Structure 1
Amino acid sequence: MFSALGRFAYRGRVWVLLATGAFVVFAAVWGTGLFGAVIDGGFEDPAAESTRAAEAIQENLGHDGVDVVAVYRSDEIQVDNPTFAREVQRVVDDLPDEYVASATSYLDEGLGDIERGVLISEDRHAVYVPITLEGEDKAERMDSFHAIADDLDAGPLDTHLGGPVPIESELSEQAEADVVRAELISLPLLLLLLVVIFGGVVAALMPLAVGGLAIMGSLTLLRGLTYVTDVSVFAVNIATILGLGLAIDYGLFMVSRFREETHRTGDAAAAVPATLATAGRTVAFSGVTVMIAFAGLLFFPQPILRSIGLGGIAVVLFDLIAALVVLPALLAVIGRRVDALRLPSLGDEGWLLGYLVGRVRRRLRPGDSVVTAERGVAARTGRWSRLAHSVMRRPVLYLVAVGAVLVAFASALGSYQVGSTDQRYLPDSSDSRIATEMLREDFPAGGVGQIDVVVTGPVAEEDLAGFADDLGALEGAEGGQVVRAEGETAHLTVAYEGEIDDESTTDLVREVRAADTPPDADEVLVGGAAAQQLDSVEAILAAMPWTLLFVALSTLVLLFLAFGSVVLPVKAIVMGFLSLGASLGVVVWGFQEGHLAGVLGFDVVGTMDPTYLVLIIIVAFGLAMDYELFLLSRVREEYLITGDNTHSVAVGLQRTGQIITSAALLLVVVLAAMGSSDLLFLKIMGIGLALAVVVDATLVRALLVPATMRLLGGLNWWLPRPLRWLHDRIGISESEEAPEPRRAQEAEPVRAG
């Protein structure tokens, strides 16, 4: 199948490249309009009680929550100064009714002393104006905010805009800008590294071309998805940067194998199908494993996770098209010129291998295979092969030592504290974070939040008041009140102090939900930001086991089809989760506990939003299986030729160690560039995934895999007879371009020297 695809790409190379050029033009015109079609936020569970409470308020009473808090401050004059008062009044009076439902100023007539005092800072140098925006939903209110944001500036007064809508807007805008910056930073570095890896400019440009095409294709596919479902701006940011990294990795594997096949066959017409039959097959399986991982996100109800899942699937699908169709067509046109513009030797081991092979050729007995000799020399002289043999001489020692290190890393997960994404994830210079911190520090009631309670049914007025008093008397509550009541719907609030993810706040939400309902109430719904945070965490915890089960079982089936073994897939899954646990432990240790704060430059929050840990789990697991496939495919290819497990592991690691390390380095560059963001959640994602790649490509791939495969021996390739029958019929094996198997004794390495 893959060799046929290679022949198609070779014969139709001109048409493929012309179609690609037309697509790039279309993507540049239409696909780049994606950013105007995405949504902000998406962290809430649409079916949760807190969401239903917000919908009940919107539908029955109308939205009246505070969306924007405009803070005005002057260090020189106080709030009763005529200039200060005039500027604030001018801003409030000029707000258009089209976008603003209400705005309350300390200058409004009819305010009581307490209500007025709440709006004035304790040093009387600042005030805040709470604003409710027009709009039926979050998207419309976000549009209203963008329409008035510039109008809220109060001239000579320092102006800072806080509240849920400005915070969400700033998170989205900063994320978009930081991802673009990450791509601009990473692309030149990637080109430099690819030139060093390949030792030539032309070969280095090939994976980069795939990466650039992947970005354009990602934007176009995601733009198409916006017509079917909501796509979060955060999904665009994460999916496109990962799509770039994976596309370059796939391009690296394909170009490396094409160069090898070109040197072997001397003919691009033969090299392209052979490349697709070997590296192309592996890339295809790798892409499917990553898509399976992204599909696991569809089990979660939160729009941000679902849209990242859909976006990730779409992006990886385009990466595969670019790597398996467009790149082979480009290589078919370039042919042997892929080695053009080579750099002087950088001191790799190629000259030594050539010298040893030359000596072997002179010592061959009649009938001996040169290819066999070259394989034997490679298996015994390469640094990766030497590492593999060193590990396989002491497999138990390496297994215990590396396993202990990974478990030690993972132990930090025991201190994990659930948190929420808010202004604390913004840089300390951001406007909305400054406004929020000023409210908490300078105003009498600035640190008070509220839980919304919606009561439906024919409840008497005195019973509603009594219910509000009971809720206000709960431990951790700062009072309760009936805000509005129309018809058979009433809106109550319960005040609290602290962050929405504080343990005391979470306990209060649970107590409010457990409280006895008032007489004649049909339903009581508890909402607000703190309740939304609790509901989101519980939804993640409920979906996580099903996600892991789906990803693990689907990956097991795919690896079974790829390798014809039941042991190797199980080993891969176990090692994947062990590597994942170690990486997550380092993330918790570094970000939640703050040990990396000084190095990476962020303020410690003390908690961590589980959304990002879910994303790291899913993406890192997909990447772990990605590298597992590349290594084991080469090991299996050699095993089919020799039948020697130990020899095959050494040759497999020798032939893939350098390229997997190079691929990991390239991906780490992309992820580290994302981790350079000023946003804490992008920093967590970028650095967290980079750590996962480093752990997997070093401790797991280079040490654990050879150790376990040596201990398992022939069991690596064990397959019960019924499953062997099944694999013979539905398994996907190498095509006719793959090397022919031969007896193990024929592949005995030839000694050099």
Structure 2
Amino acid sequence: MARFHRLVVAGWIVALVGSALLLPRFQSALTGPPLDVLGSDSYRAQEIMAARFAQPFAEQDLIVFESASLVAGDAVFQNVIGDTLRLVQELPGVVSVISPYDPRADGLISLDGRVATALVGLSGSNANRQAIVPRLIATAEAAQTGDVRIYVTGRSPLIAELVAQEQEDLSRAERLGIPLALLILIVSSGAVVAAGLPIVLALVGVTVTFGVLGAVSSFADFNLFVPNIATMIGLGVGIDYALFIVNRYREELARGVAPGPAVAIAARTAGRTVFFSGFTVLLSLAGLLLVNARIFRELALGAMTAVAVMVLGALTLIPALLAWLGPRVNAFALPGRTQQSVSFGGDRFWGRWARMIMRHPGWWAMAAVVVLLALASPVTRLNLALDTSTSEVGQQSAALGREILEREFNEGRISPLQVVYVSEDGPLDTADLDVIARLSELLANDWAVVNVTSVTTLLDRFAGNHTAETLARAVEVPEAVEAAADLINIGTGGDVAVIRAVPRWSPDSPGPLLLVERVRETMAPAAFAEQQLDAEIIVGGLSAQIVDITAESQRKLPLVVGLVVVLSLVLLALVFRSIAIPIKAIVMNVLSIAAAYGLLVVVFQEGAGAALFDFQPTGATQVYLPLLTFAVLFGLSMDYEVFLLGRIKEEWERTHDNEMAVERGLQRTAAVITAAAAIMVAVFAAFTFARLTEVKSLGFSLAAAVFIDATLIRIILVPAAMQLLGRWNWWFPGWLDRRLPRVDLAD
């Protein structure tokens, strides 16, 4: 690496420039969190509607008209609505517009007449719908007058505002976290140049990560949380990995080793540790790919890309820069600092600390475990849900429009339940229509529903019955075809119907979620009334998606945890040639993660930190946070485990004295671990200043877990447990040792 350092640096400069050019593509492609669970009922319903309707809309948004002086019956009010909708209808991607005065409309005008809503159907992928939103909002706002205010709300408009808020949050976190990380690096390393190298890797690595994701976004969507996750994880591991290598290089310089060989030694020792640590983080994050939901896979891909780029940078860019700098890595040293490595308390302090722990290991281990279990105890109250509120985006058009709808109508109008009836034996006949009518009636009589619209409700209202003959006559009338365009696929077979049920509350509240289960378990079978029809009823819509993704998360949690734990055990056994060390590492990781979960429940779910972190508690934890947090934390915890135990193993192989190995291993790594943890805590904590509660809670839980891991676990529980186990730490069956490949992190 030392011989080709100029070429390596040039390569990274090219990658940086190319990534900067791709960055706008990545940012413009961000979408809302996809709640699709592949193969689920809600996913199938969405796919059927997209494939079988002549004018399918993937999403229905709302235009809200509000006036303080006019009512919907006034001509001026009607003219504003008419003019607006004619302009909206001409926009690309808009495939359906329903006026509040349309015969199909029911309940689109408030009781006092001062608020009216129009329904707008959008087609295309998440990214395409996101692209439509700015023109839709601009068109609507351009048509408003002094008497009538116009707002556009719904899934994509709300997501557009969330994406803008996310980018603001990300910028704020970087402005806070990076300078604080640099300050910690300068104080701990004692030299400005040495402190700057990890920051260089972090900034270059995050930019290159976004560039890679920007290239991938040409054929894949990424949700709005991916940049936060990628930045959070990328900054944390990038700074840590660079710190490990720079610190080992400076140690070698301090021993009198020449710069070239010092780079080689750092790459061979700390570099191997970085590679293995990065691999374990990637392995842990890859567990999220087992969840059959796009949001987990997108978040995993973003985080894995960041980790891979940071590992590559730590193994190539950092050694190249060290080869170029040589002894100048220690330039601009702080006054009074002569030690050419990280110092956070000094080697003597950590040596005394290790001896103190190992004099009474049982008491120290018991105290640490008691504290960890106390912190973890609230996890029994963990309540998983999916909050779709948008209070964080402030006074924007979509948020204001949603607020008006919730005040004047009901919260469920934004995302109605879409119950899809599919006939497998041709066009709908009278028997099929009878089933649809019975299901429509069951829904209309349900306590959680305020409005139901279906092909049979329209036929009953305008023709007095819903027979196949009546439907056949209706499809000959253009106005009737238009009125039912989104309720039956008249032009593409006439074999699919959609029942639209508006719940009384927001789609993420218990009422609509229980309604989904009632439709699936009781209403659908009852609607068939024991008739043997070749047909199927499938429940779709946002509430159904929430039910499905919650079930998928809970179903896959044991699988993800089990697979990650087993593979980690195998990898640790390969590296440390031990049975006890991998088991101990897994148990300690689980304890630290459980403690972080407990704090997450108390601070965010139950609201103990609401005033401090400025959020409104909902009494629930976002359904995807536990799995995501586990995958990230398990991998990050392995970083410190591998770094600490790698040094202990080096000493053990040199001395075969367990107590001395633990003491010297902790003495040589505790300062770096403490500094690295302080940096990671600073980076993660910076995200608690975001406005989006999901980002706040993830940043908090990661910061809390890293703090716990670097204190209670690494500098108390690990040395105490290793002292208690003694030589059993290093026991490994001979037959297994001979058959397994060797992975060496030492020289």
Q: TM-score scaled by structure 1?
A: 0.86
Query: 1:423·1:432 contact (CA, 8 Å) conserved in 2?
Result: no
The alignment status of 1:411 with 2:377, answered yes or no, reads: yes
Q: Distance in 2 between matches of 1:352 and 1:161?
A: 56
Matching residue of 2:469: none
One-letter identity of the residue aligned with 2:209: S
1:414-493 to 2 correspondence within 5 Å? 414-424=380-390, 426-443=392-409, 450-457=416-423, 458=428, 459-474=431-446, 476-478=448-450, 480-483=452-455, 484-485=487-488, 486=490, 487-493=494-500
Matching residue of 1:601: 614
1:286-334 alpha-carbon deviations (Å, 9 max, x no partner): 1111110111111012112112222322221221111111111110111
Q: Which moved more, 1:64-73 or 1:238-247?
A: 64-73
The alignment status of 1:129 with 2:118, answered yes or no, reads: yes
One-letter identity of the residue aligned with 1:132: G
Matching residue of 1:650: 663
Q: Distance in 2 between matches of 1:197 and 1:628?
A: 21
The alignment status of 1:103 with 2:114, answered yes or no, reads: no
1:207-248 alpha-carbon deviations (Å, 9 max, x no partner): 111112211221232234335644334223311331122111
Matching residue of 1:234: 225
The alignment status of 1:733 with 2:724, answered yes or no, reads: no
Structure 1 residues 416 and 77: alpha-carbon distance in aligned structure 2, compared to 1, 3 A threshold? same
Structure 1 residues 462 and 592: alpha-carbon distance in aligned structure 2, compared to 1, 3 A threshold? same
Shift of 1:586: 0.8
Matching residue of 1:198: 189
Matching residue of 2:463: none
1:608-647 alpha-carbon deviations (Å, 9 max, x no partner): 2211221111101111111111111111122222222122
Q: Distance in 2 between matches of 1:448 and 1:497?
A: 11
Query: 1:475·1:508 contact (CA, 8 Å) conserved in 2?
Result: no
Q: Distance in 2 between matches of 1:445 and 1:227?
A: 35
Query: 1:70·1:160 contact (CA, 8 Å) conserved in 2?
Result: yes
Matching residue of 1:500: 507
Q: Distance in 2 between matches of 1:76 and 1:70?
A: 19
Matching residue of 1:92: 85
Query: 1:469·1:481 contact (CA, 8 Å) conserved in 2?
Result: no
Q: Distance in 1 between matches of 2:263 and 2:130?
A: 51
Quick one: which of 702, 705, 713 aligns to 2:715?
Answer: 702
Query: 1:222·1:236 contact (CA, 8 Å) conserved in 2?
Result: no
Structure 1 residues 598 and 298: alpha-carbon distance in aligned structure 2, compared to 1, 3 A threshold? same
Q: Distance in 1 between matches of 2:380 and 2:111?
A: 41
Structure 1 residues 434 and 345: alpha-carbon distance in aligned structure 2, compared to 1, 3 A threshold? farther
Equivalent position SS for 2:419: strand
Equivalent position SS for 1:460: helix
Equivalent position SS for 1:67: strand
Q: Distance in 2 between matches of 1:327 and 1:352?
A: 20
1:215-614 to 2 correspondence within 5 Å? 215-227=206-218, 229-345=220-336, 382-424=348-390, 426-443=392-409, 450-457=416-423, 458=428, 459-474=431-446, 476-478=448-450, 480-483=452-455, 484-485=487-488, 486=490, 487-515=494-522, 516=525, 517-518=527-528, 519=531, 520-614=533-627
Quick one: which of 607, 626, 632 aligns to 2:639?
Answer: 626
Query: 2:21·2:211 contact (CA, 8 Å) conserved in 1?
Result: no
1:154-165 to 2 correspondence within 5 Å? 154-156=144-146, 157-165=148-156
Quick one: which of 122, 126, 146 aligns to 2:134?
Answer: 146
Shift of 1:671: 1.3
One-letter identity of the residue aligned with 2:365: L
1:69-113 alpha-carbon deviations (Å, 9 max, x no partner): 23343456665666655544442333242333343444x37588x
Shift of 1:499: 3.2
One-letter identity of the residue aligned with 1:490: A
What is the identity percentage for the equivalent residue pairs of Structure 1 and Structure 2?
A: 32
Equivalent position SS for 1:524: strand
Matching residue of 1:68: 61
One-letter identity of the residue aligned with 1:705: V
Q: Distance in 2 between matches of 1:227 and 1:563?
A: 42
Equivalent position SS for 2:683: helix
Quick one: which of 190, 204, 216 aligns to 1:213?
Answer: 204
Shift of 1:68: 2.2
One-letter identity of the residue aligned with 2:435: D
Query: 2:154·2:402 contact (CA, 8 Å) conserved in 1?
Result: yes
Quick one: which of 166, 173, 177 aligns to 1:186?
Answer: 177
Equivalent position SS for 1:423: coil
Structure 1 residues 59 and 111: alpha-carbon distance in aligned structure 2, compared to 1, 3 A threshold? closer
Query: 1:42·1:303 contact (CA, 8 Å) conserved in 2?
Result: yes
One-letter identity of the residue aligned with 2:118: V
Q: Distance in 2 between matches of 1:326 and 1:351?
A: 20
Q: Distance in 1 between matches of 2:397 and 2:155?
A: 13
Matching residue of 2:3: 11
Matched residue pairs, number?
695
Structure 1 residues 37 and 427: alpha-carbon distance in aligned structure 2, compared to 1, 3 A threshold? closer
Shift of 1:473: 3.7
Equivalent position SS for 1:602: coil
Q: Which moved more, 1:328-337 or 1:413-422?
A: 413-422
Structure 1 residues 697 and 83: alpha-carbon distance in aligned structure 2, compared to 1, 3 A threshold? farther
Shift of 1:587: 0.7
Which residues of structure 2 form unaligned runs of 5+? 456-486
Shift of 1:182: 1.8
Matching residue of 1:678: 691
1:531-563 alpha-carbon deviations (Å, 9 max, x no partner): 110111111122222211221122112212221
The alignment status of 1:21 with 2:25, answered yes or no, reads: no
Q: Which moved more, 1:188-197 or 1:579-588?
A: 188-197
Which residues of structure 1 form unaligned runs of 5+? 1-8, 355-377, 739-753
Q: Distance in 1 between matches of 2:165 and 2:640?
A: 32
Structure 1 residues 475 and 39: alpha-carbon distance in aligned structure 2, compared to 1, 3 A threshold? closer
Q: Distance in 2 between matches of 1:224 and 1:446?
A: 38
Shift of 1:190: 2.2
Shift of 1:719: 0.5
Query: 1:225·1:231 contact (CA, 8 Å) conserved in 2?
Result: no
The alignment status of 1:49 with 2:41, answered yes or no, reads: yes
Query: 1:265·1:271 contact (CA, 8 Å) conserved in 2?
Result: no
1:413-444 alpha-carbon deviations (Å, 9 max, x no partner): 22222221412463444443332232112236
Q: Distance in 2 between matches of 1:529 and 1:194?
A: 46
Structure 1 residues 84 and 17: alpha-carbon distance in aligned structure 2, compared to 1, 3 A threshold? same
Shift of 1:124: 4.7
Q: Which moved more, 1:589-598 or 1:215-224?
A: 215-224
Q: TM-score scaled by structure 2?
A: 0.87
Q: Distance in 2 between matches of 1:182 and 1:353?
A: 25
1:28-47 to 2 correspondence within 5 Å? 28-30=20-22, 32-47=24-39
1:180-220 alpha-carbon deviations (Å, 9 max, x no partner): 33223322222222211211111111111111221122123
Quick one: which of 705, 711, 721 aligns to 2:734?
Answer: 721
Shift of 1:725: 1.5
Query: 2:450·2:504 contact (CA, 8 Å) conserved in 1?
Result: yes
Structure 1 residues 346 and 338: alpha-carbon distance in aligned structure 2, compared to 1, 3 A threshold? closer
Shift of 1:601: 0.4
Shift of 1:401: 2.1
Q: Distance in 2 between matches of 1:39 and 1:685?
A: 19
Q: Distance in 1 between matches of 2:342 and 2:191?
A: 17
